[in-house]
A and B are shown apart, each in its own frame.
Chain A
Amino acid sequence: MKLHEYQSKYIFSKYGIPIPKGRVAATAEAAKQIAQELGGRVVIKAQVLVGGRGKAGGVKVAKDPAEAEQLATQILSLEIKGLPVRKVLVDEAAAIQTEIYFAITNDRAARRPVMIASAAGGVDIEEVAHTNPEKIIKVHIDPLLGLRDYQTRDIAAGIDLPRELWREFNSIAQALWKVYNENDATLAEINPLIINTSGKLVALDGKMMIDDNALFRHIDLAEIRDIDEEAPAEIEARKYGLSYIKLDGTIGCMVNGAGLAMTTMDIVKLFGGEPANFLDVGGGAGAEKVAAAMKIILTDSNVKAVLFNIFGGITRCDEVARGILAAIDEVKPQVPMIVRLVGTNAEEGRRLLADANMITAETLVDAAQKAVQAANKK
């Protein structure tokens, strides 16, 4: 789950990381009001959960409240990478001396968190990592020991931070570690962390991602999930414990297991079709879940055929078949359905579906070919 900049920076500040004064606004009038309260120049920043908002015109500096209102109007009418801007953050403008990149994330290969810093902050850090890897300092953190002070000194020295700022940097680094650790973040990023013209460190921007698997112990964070930023079908899917991602093709896919679901998409493509979605109904999928899955697939009007590929292990094929029948009864789909059931209680499942006017397939190849054929015929 991604957090907005204003949410991330609010969490940072709770842990003692200095951030600029500012507030979030949903209207241009509110933005003007905040600019008035702050006084002086302000930055208006679009709050959307995608990168590249600066390049899209979503970040602008205003010299007074009137201009803040005007720029906020502009930004609030933008759509960035398909996402409408619904909120802006109005921050006091900073006087920047130096920009630093600073983050903690998971290094899956090392099986440890890694703290990353670079003196080349503010610009595209991935580009720097690619062209000048020596400019990126990485320090792995032992998850059982936590971040040690000597490690933050190594980082400070590595990015040539002036010695008089090391102590301040250490407290920000320790705070960022706590932010990451105590909130089950998979990413806590400050880009840029600046040294302002008064010689102080300030987090100008903030980005956090939270591990969905850990939300059970962060009820407060789960509640601030911005569902406006998600496709309605994906929200609906999550309610039923389904994993659904909409794609651009014409063949709807319903599969149990993520690996097999991806494989089913791949094989559809291999035989000349285009998958309309990724959908994993999960293990032990009961009738109700299957019905919900079918409804979600059919909300996509691009879908010209639906392919069911179920390999029964824990999942029982007769249960799935009952779910399919219940959903057909309710949704009355107008597109051809191709079903492949293998494994636990497959015969019973096939028998149940025999009367439902469905195309059946024995092998995965056979199923994919029939689905492509059916989708093209329509």
Chain B
Amino acid sequence: MSILIDSKTRVIVQGITGNEGLFHTTQMHAYGTNIVGGVTPGKGGEWVLNDKVPVFDSVKLAAEATGANCSVIFVPAKFAPDAMFEAADAGIPLIVCITEGVAVQDMMRVRNYLDQKRVRLIGPNCPGMLTPGQSKVGIIPGNIAIPGNVGVVSRSGTLTYEVLYAMMNLGLGASTCVGIGGDPVNGTNFIDVLEMFQHDVQTEKVVLIGEIGGTDEEKAAEYIAKEMTKPVVAFIAGQTAPPGKRMGHAGAIIEGGAGTAADKVRALEAARVKVARHPEEIAQLLK
């Protein structure tokens, strides 16, 4: 078992004929992801990947024709909110938005709308998900992780790769890796994913990768202390980040003194979470 995605997940790609979209569709398909179609308005009827994957004009048409139950979004930031609304209105239950740089007020509207529809959104500004050996939805390189029993949830991108890679080098595999994204307003938070890992029979241990800004890690610590029986190892990026500076991720802003790395480490350690000092140590602490 895994969480959210497996080999049966039927995936469509929004923005499939764009540069990024096409590149990563090729990668996902090569990995074994069940890519059933794509959407680019105005290019319905075309085919990509040597005529293996059909392109539709809308998510609704793609969903009707393919029975897709997951959509991954690779459209530019100014069109991404519309893409998320469209996927939700077409009845797609799981939306993964890779796009970086979506305006925060747009995200507040998207999130409040999607909550009413009970749609699960991962991202935006995230690397997506990987269930090693079965399916990858997003941009996580497939060759840096092996199947296993460690659930990984992260707010970061390349830092997550670093951790998966260090785990693989020690022979440790992942059940599913979920990149929830670094934006201040996103679709899925740590607690949502921790809860899924807690109930997933394959997952025996969990890695949480956080960073400065917001209070999601603190809330996750509360949840871990109260609800989780599986051991959790964590890492928090941004110990040396100067306060009040924007560090590329909109989320990485220290707000009103709360959300510093030290606060987060303290909260997690109080919940009996082992906190690593650097990414390679995470893998060692899992042993």
Tell whether A53 is near chain B: CB-to-CB under 8 Å: no
In the bound complex, CA of A213 to CA of B256 (Å): 22
A257 to chain B, nearest CB (A): 3
The 8 A-B pairs at the shortest CB distance, nearest first, are namely A259-B156, A257-B158, A258-B248, A259-B159, A214-B103, A243-B248, A108-B184, A260-B158
User: Once the chains bind, are A262 and B247 in contact (CB under 8 Å)?
Assistant: yes
B: interface residue count bin: 35 or more
Which residue in A106, A258, A344, A363 is a CB contact (below 8 Å) of B247? Answer: A258
Which chain B residues border A113 with CB–CB below 8 Å? Answer: 105, 108
**Also in contact, A365 and B158, with CB within 8 A (given A181-B105, A184-B105, A259-B182):** no
In the bound complex, CA of A266 to CA of B260 (Å): 13
User: Once the chains bind, are A343 and B155 in contact (CB under 8 Å)?
Assistant: no
Tell whether A200 is near chain B: CB-to-CB under 8 Å: no
User: Once the chains bind, are A270 and B278 in contact (CB under 8 Å)?
Assistant: yes
A151 to chain B, nearest CB (A): 16
User: Once the chains bind, are A111 and B111 in contact (CB under 8 Å)?
Assistant: yes
In the bound complex, CA of A245 to CA of B184 (Å): 20
User: Once the chains bind, are B141 and A313 in contact (CB under 8 Å)?
Assistant: yes
Kindly supply a per-residue 1/0 record for chain B positions 102-134, scoring 1 wherever the CB is within 8 Å of any chain A CB and 0 otherwise.
Answer: 111111110111000000000000010000000
The residues of B with any CB-CB pair to A shorter than 8 Å are 20, 23-24, 77-78, 100-109, 111-113, 127, 139-141, 144, 154-162, 165, 182, 184-185, 209, 211-212, 214-215, 235, 237-242, 245-252, 255-256, 261, 277-280
Which chain A residues border B106 with CB–CB below 8 Å? Answer: 214
Which residue in B101, B209, B240 is a CB contact (below 8 Å) of A259? Answer: B209
Sample of 16 further A-B pairs with CB below 8 A, known A106-B108, A270-B277, A280-B248:
A106-B185, A111-B112, A112-B108, A144-B112, A214-B103, A243-B246, A256-B158, A262-B241, A262-B247, A266-B239, A278-B245, A283-B100, A311-B165, A312-B141, A313-B141, A343-B165
In the bound complex, CA of A112 to CA of B112 (Å): 8
CB nearest neighbor in A for B113? A144
B242 to chain A, nearest CB (A): 6
A252 to chain B, nearest CB (A): 14
User: Once the chains bind, are A259 and B237 in contact (CB under 8 Å)?
Assistant: yes
User: Once the chains bind, are A245 and B247 in contact (CB under 8 Å)?
Assistant: yes
**Also in contact, A261 and B248, with CB within 8 A (given A143-B109, A313-B140, A344-B141):** yes
User: Once the chains bind, are A108 and B214 in contact (CB under 8 Å)?
Assistant: yes
Which chain B residues border A108 with CB–CB below 8 Å? Answer: 184-185, 214, 251, 255
Which residue in A112, A213, A269 is a CB contact (below 8 Å) of B102? Answer: A213
In the bound complex, CA of A258 to CA of B51 (Å): 37
CB nearest neighbor in A for B216? A109
Tell whether A216 is near chain B: CB-to-CB under 8 Å: yes
A258 to chain B, nearest CB (A): 3
User: Once the chains bind, are B184 and A106 in contact (CB under 8 Å)?
Assistant: yes
In the bound complex, CA of A312 to CA of B141 (Å): 9
Which residue in A106, A243, A257, A268 is a CB contact (below 8 Å) of B157? Answer: A257
Which chain A residues border B165 with CB–CB below 8 Å? Answer: 311, 342-343
User: Once the chains bind, are A363 and B109 in contact (CB under 8 Å)?
Assistant: no
User: Once the chains bind, are B159 and A144 in contact (CB under 8 Å)?
Assistant: no
Tell whether A349 is near chain B: CB-to-CB under 8 Å: no
A126 to chain B, nearest CB (A): 7
B246 to chain A, nearest CB (A): 8
**Also in contact, A260 and B162, with CB within 8 A (given A111-B185, A213-B103, A344-B141):** yes
In the bound complex, CA of A257 to CA of B252 (Å): 12
Tell whether A267 is near chain B: CB-to-CB under 8 Å: yes
Tell whether A247 is near chain B: CB-to-CB under 8 Å: yes
Tell whether A275 is near chain B: CB-to-CB under 8 Å: yes
User: Once the chains bind, are B247 and A111 in contact (CB under 8 Å)?
Assistant: no
Which chain B residues border A245 with CB–CB below 8 Å? Answer: 242, 245-247
User: Once the chains bind, are A283 and B104 in contact (CB under 8 Å)?
Assistant: no
Which chain A residues border B211 with CB–CB below 8 Å? Answer: 258-259, 262
Which chain A residues border B261 with CB–CB below 8 Å? Answer: 266
